[in-house]
Amino acid sequence: MLKHASISAADLISPDPHPFKWRMGVKPLSLERWLLVDQERDTDLEEIGRLIDAHRDKIIYCEPSALEGCDELSIEVLQHLRQIDDLKTLEIDDQQGRAPIEAIRRVVQEDLCLLERRPEGWTMTACAVAIPTQWDVPSKYGKTLDVIHEPVPRYDTDLSQPMGTFFDRLRPEAPVWRANRTLTDDPSLRLAPQRRHHPMRDDITIKNVADRVWLRVEYQTLRRLPQSDVIIFTIRILRQNIASVADHPEKLTQLVSSLTKMPNDIRDYKDSTWGHAQLIRQWALSTGRVTKEELNES
């Protein structure tokens, strides 16, 4: 039931600036690309349901003030998904004592965060994050954007101020998207926080790295909802192995070039991504997929 022109992880990545700096990297979102539906929907939703049943306290959070925003989000989600032939009669089952954000999460392939403007800054007052990329979800419950991003080096210098201004000015009619990227040897949907610092597996070698390591992209969208005035942040995981990224030679070059030039503080934060990038660089050079000139290393 592939309903959207498929978007691959490699399609969404872009090179880092040199010297390195975090960028907002937001681009206008066309609303038909807000929530993505693909042939994995049924399998993904079964897994999400199992994860929520097993770890609800680590996935679902909702403060009373977020309920109005959740109602508006339900309406938007249904309106969006019911445009798809197979989903015309879709309902959101908010019975069984489920928090509304949990009920919504069970019908979309995206993780969901809801933010409200508080005097101390934009605050995550509800979320349903079942498949995080190596971050600890409960530690972010009820926290502002600045506190949520505390583990990210250079957040305070590169992002804190522009993000605050951007969130304040985000308009309902001008939603945006952006992407984050990670390299991992684990193709699972849910990645535990400690995976960020796992040592490289010693059975991953220059010979098999292209098949064993995955580019994992978080396709993130931001929309302000006009009635409740909340901001909805969605995170959709897209994955492909490095061998298939290499079908797009310019993307492979960009990826290797950016990730092998990360400064030390960012390397420490993106530990296992850095380790995998080194091995991919060796593989790409040894197989002639990239040259030292293309990586500006000659």
Interacting residues with ligand HEM (CB under 6 A): 22, 24, 26, 113, 115, 124, 135, 140, 148-149, 151-152, 159, 163, 166, 178, 180, 233, 270
**CB 67 → ligand HEM: shortest distance, Å?**
18
Based on CB atoms, which residue is closest to ligand HEM, 240 or 258? 258
* Smallest distance, ligand HEM to C-beta of residue 255, A: 13
Q: How far is the CB of 144 from ligand HEM (least distance, A)?
A: 9
Of residues 44 and 218, the one with the C-beta less far from ligand HEM: 218
Whose Cβ is closer to ligand HEM: residue 124's or residue 246's? Answer: 124
- Please report how close the Cβ of residue 151 comes to ligand HEM at its closest, in angstroms: 4
CB of 205 to ligand HEM, least distance (A): 25
In sign, the C-alpha dihedral spanning 195, 201, 206, 209 is negative
Amino acid of residue 222: L
Residue 172: asked if its preceding bond is cis (omega within 30°), the reply is no
Closer residue to ligand HEM in complex, CB, 214/233: 233
DSSP assignment letter at 201:
P
- Please name the residue ranges forming H helices in the chain: 9-12, 41-55, 67-81, 100-105, 145-148, 155-158, 160-169, 209-212, 242-245, 249-259, 264-269, 271-286
Nearer of residues 41 and 280 to ligand HEM, judged by Cβ: 280
Around 89, how many Cα atoms within 13 Å sit in the side-chain half-sphere? 0
Angle between helices 249-259 and 271-286 (to 10 degrees): 130
Give the number of other CB atoms < 10 A from CB of residue 79.
9
C-alpha 274/C-alpha 265 separation (Å) is 11
Overall residue count recorded for the chain in this entry: 298
Cα 6 to Cα 14, 84, 265, distances in angstroms: 18, 15, 35
Q: Answer yes or no: are the C-beta atoms of 181 and 215 closer than 8 Å.
A: yes
Amino acid (1-letter code) at residue 69:
G
Q: Which is nearer to ligand HEM, 26 or 51 (CB)?
A: 26
- Residue number with CB closer to ligand HEM (16 or 41): 16
Q: Least distance to ligand HEM from the beta carbon of 86, Å?
A: 30
Q: Which is nearer to ligand HEM, 133 or 240 (CB)?
A: 133
- Environment class of residue 265 by beta-carbon count within 10 Å: exposed (0-12), middle (13-18) or buried (19+)? exposed
Q: d(Cα 274, Cα 198) in Å, to the nearest integer?
A: 11
Smallest distance, ligand HEM to C-beta of residue 152, A: 5
Taking the complex as a whole, how short is the minimal distance between the CB of residue 163 and ligand HEM, in angstroms? Answer: 5
